[in-house]
Amino acid sequence: MSIRLHNLDFNYKDQKVITNLSLEIADGGILCVMGESGCGKTTLLGILTGRLKPENGEIQGISGKRIGMVFQENRLLEEFSAESNILLGCDRGFYPLDGEDSRHWKKAEKRKHIDEHLKLVGLEEASKEKVKNLSGGMKRRVAIVRAMMSDCDILVMDEPFQGLDARNRRKAIEYIRRYKGDRTLLLVTHEKEDAERLGGVLFQMS
């Protein structure tokens, strides 16, 4: 089922942030939300994930779905290793990234798979490192892998490539393309090129 937003309005007190917004995302599709700083992109993701309630409007296709999220501010546990953060993020199960059944994986096997995925985004050295010792771009990639590996129906990413250099940005995009599976992906970016590389539909907010 596609995701549909119809005539949404959202205000912070008396500041109108979103007015009469409608959009549709095909089931399994990729929607890249773009727009100037402050236009309401993060607010839109908050509404989609049920954290914020719109004043008016209808939302279809989200209720009951599990969401894997990359937050703007990472929300990683700084004192835990990259690997442990992902393990905790996947406590409700792993998405079958290579079609594998993870239900009977022991902890060591889970960690092995996590390490393999960290390697795919260039973090082979970082898996046992505490998150607080990683760079901003490295933390971003841990957050991406955590969302991607979690067993979810919808992926929501708020500027996932923030702080990544060109090479790692391409690597992360390739990783998402490769492992998205049939999940719907909603992503905020400031770069049109990201949307093109991902093969997504652009949605310009104003």
Ligand X SMILES: Nc1ncnc2c1ncn2[C@@H]1O[C@H](COP(=O)(O)OP(=O)(O)OP(=O)(O)O)[C@@H](O)[C@H]1O
Q: Are 18 and 8 in contact (CB under 8 A)?
A: yes
Closest approach of ligand X to the CB of residue 171, in Å: 23
The verdict on 37 binding ligand X (CB under 6 A) reads yes
**Nearest CA to 172 among 121, 115, 138, 108?**
121
Q: Is 103 exposed, middle or buried (0-12, 13-18, 19+ CB in 10 A)?
A: exposed
Q: Are 59 and 47 in contact (CB under 8 A)?
A: yes
Report the SS3 class of residue 193. Answer: helix
Please identify, among the stretches 35-43, 116-124, 168-176, 178-186, the one whose residues bind ligand X according to the rule CB under 6 A.
35-43
Closest approach of ligand X to the CB of residue 72, in Å: 6
Residue closer to ligand X, measured from CB, 102 or 162: 162
Q: 3, 25, 32, 40: which one contacts ligand X (CB under 6 A)?
A: 40
The verdict on 42 binding ligand X (CB under 6 A) reads yes
Residue closer to ligand X, measured from CB, 11 or 102: 11
Q: 41, 113, 140, 146: which one contacts ligand X (CB under 6 A)?
A: 41
Q: Are 157 and 67 in contact (CB under 8 A)?
A: no
Please identify, among the stretches 41-49, 54-62, 77-85, 130-138, the one whose residues bind ligand X according to the rule CB under 6 A.
41-49
Please name every residue paired with 10 in a beta bridge, in sequence order, or none if there are none: 18
Phi, psi of 93 (to 5 degrees): 125, 165
Q: 17, 23, 59, 201: which one contacts ligand X (CB under 6 A)?
A: 17
Residue closer to ligand X, measured from CB, 13 or 104: 13
Number of residues that bind ligand X (CB under 6 A): 10
Distance between CA atoms of residues 161 and 143, nearest Å: 10
Please identify, among the stretches 19-27, 30-38, 77-85, 117-125, the one whose residues bind ligand X according to the rule CB under 6 A.
30-38
Computed on alpha carbons and rounded to an integer, the radius of gyration of the chain in Å comes to 17
Residues that bind ligand X (CB under 6 A): 12, 17, 35, 37-43
